[in-house]
Structure 1
């Protein structure tokens, strides 16, 4: 099973850049279903401090489609993360 293949009843979270550094992982599987709006809270439970240090400035994709999780009424917060979905946490990157 590759890093993006999820076990039954789970979805995969892919971590990039600062998110990978903070978690010490490039991916992990979380139980589904879960509303996307609950994802940052769950990650904060697993990795205290990640919301303020990493997640608040990240882009999030679900199955390669960007979703908006900014604000309590964000449209993306209502997306249901289902078994087999792929979620990417993409911090801003600087180049120079």
Structure 2
């Protein structure tokens, strides 16, 4: 019997996002509206929204995106998303 893999995208976690999830990458079901990404992550990792995501940037492919304003953007099968906490300089 052949099993069919459901469509997924890969999400990469950096710095505090990786520490909070305990993962560097994972696969999530696609398609997913970008506007629902943080809500989805919050349901998987309770508290991540306030502790990590509220100050993070997100990239889809090679471009930074604004999750709130990009309600029409959909993360598709095979896409790569990164959750990037702020980088400090000194």
Aligned residues: CA RMSD: 1.2
Tell me which moved more, 76-85 or 43-52: 76-85
Unaligned runs of 5+ in 1: 1-6
- Residue 4 of structure 1 corresponds to which residue in structure 2? none
- Residue 39 of structure 1 corresponds to which residue in structure 2? 37
Alignment of 1:1-96 (within 5 A): 9-70=7-68, 74=69, 76-96=70-90
If the length of structure 1 is used for normalisation, what is the TM-score?
0.84
If the length of structure 2 is used for normalisation, what is the TM-score?
0.89
* CA offsets 1:28-54 (integer angstroms, 9 cap, x no match): 000000100001000000000000010
- Number of aligned pairs? 86
Q: CA–CA distance in 2 between the matches of 1:66 and 1:93?
A: 14
Work out whether residues 68 and 77 of structure 1, in 8 Å CA contact, stay in contact via their aligned partners in 2: no
* CA offsets 1:4-61 (integer angstroms, 9 cap, x no match): xxx6500000000000000000000000001000010000000000000100111100
Tell me which moved more, 10-19 or 61-70: 61-70
**CA radius of gyration, larger in:** 2
Work out whether residues 8 and 83 of structure 1, in 8 Å CA contact, stay in contact via their aligned partners in 2: no
The structural deviation recorded for 1:77 is 2.9
